[in-house]
Structure 1
Amino acid sequence: MTTSEQPTTVGASAPEELEPRLAALVAAGDLDGIVGLYAADAVVSLPRGREAAGSTAIRSAFAAALAAGALGPVGAGSTVTARAVVSGDLAMTTSTTADGTVRTQVARRCAQGRWVWVRDGSRLRDVPACLPVDSGSLAVA
């Protein structure tokens, strides 16, 4: 897993580019890049009705998932389709993996024109490794 000293480009230039960008960042083990795909106030669903809210909790959840190798299929290019339905500065992004798993997220256009996810209800929901021992930074859904 890598982290960089310099800021990683935040988000993607279009909402449908978020999923392929995530796959590349997971393959590279770039935790900073992965976290940069999420807004600072984003919420990611975790197992057992928990949620990672905000960049620090999202970083911890993804760090644990990367360390456990739980994100391998994303990085291995298993995404069959990635699409977005855009309405103004919001978009619903959807991806379908080779095994038929469908993931949906909500993205928002930032002031800089880049797109970031603000709600991810499915990516880590079935990854027990992403639950920290100290769940103080997590909220119950």
Structure 2
Amino acid sequence: MTTTRPAAHAPEDLEALLAAAVATADLDAVAALHAPDAVVSLPGGREAAGRAAVRAAYAAALEAGALVDTALGASSTRAVVSGALAMTTSTWPDGTVRTQVARREADGSWVWTRDGSRLRDVEACLPVAGPDASVA
């Protein structure tokens, strides 16, 4: 069986696709919305670099029940596009604003390359120390 990754046809689509993936705990879809070289900020100045590390951080956060607001989705999302790059900004019902950087891929779809806000305050997303820890 082949699964198809969610495709964002515009950078504004990324937020809704992430909310749907989080709501169904589809970690493959979450990872697919991030570029292979994506970097996501984590607590304490740490970062998840690369799809595998991003997937692991989201898995830990989901397991801890820390992404309920993400599954509910943003109240508004907008993008400022410059060529193959975009800054996406999502505003949440509580007034929180999250900003990410997206990139258009060769197939025309959009993926996030940098997210500095979504997991930054989610302590549960940090990996247990060990040889397989994939964040810096």
**Same fold, TM exceeding 0.5?**
yes
Match of 1:132 among 116, 123, 127: 127
| Alignment pair present for 1:42 and 2:38 | yes
| Alignment pair present for 1:72 and 2:84 | no
Following TM superposition, by how much is the alpha carbon of 1:18 offset from its aligned partner in structure 2, in angstroms? 0.3
Matches of 2:68 and 2:27, distance apart in 1: 14
Following TM superposition, by how much is the alpha carbon of 1:6 offset from its aligned partner in structure 2, in angstroms? 2.9
Amino acid at match of 2:108: G
Q: Contact 2:37–2:113 (CA<8 Å) still a contact in 1?
A: yes
Matches of 1:64 and 1:81, distance apart in 2: 26
Amino acid at match of 1:132: P
Amino acid at match of 2:121: D
**1:43-98 deviation per Cα after TM superposition (whole angstroms, max 9, x unaligned):** 00000000000011111100001111111111123x11101000000000000111
- Partner residue in 2 for 1:104: 99
Structure 1: where are the runs of 5+ without partners? Answer: none
Q: Aligned pairs, how many? A: 134
**Identity rate, percent:** 65
Structure 2: where are the runs of 5+ without partners? Answer: none
Q: Contact 2:11–2:86 (CA<8 Å) still a contact in 1?
A: yes
Cα root mean square deviation, aligned? 1.3
For residues 21-60 of structure 1, what are the structure 2 equivalents within 5 Å?
A: 21-60=17-56
Q: Which runs of 4+ in 1 moved over 2 A?
A: 5-8
Q: Contact 2:6–2:17 (CA<8 Å) still a contact in 1?
A: no
Matches of 2:9 and 2:116, distance apart in 1: 22
Following TM superposition, by how much is the alpha carbon of 1:8 offset from its aligned partner in structure 2, in angstroms? 3.2
Matches of 2:51 and 2:82, distance apart in 1: 25
Amino acid at match of 2:43: P
Matches of 2:126 and 2:7, distance apart in 1: 24
| Alignment pair present for 1:90 and 2:60 | no
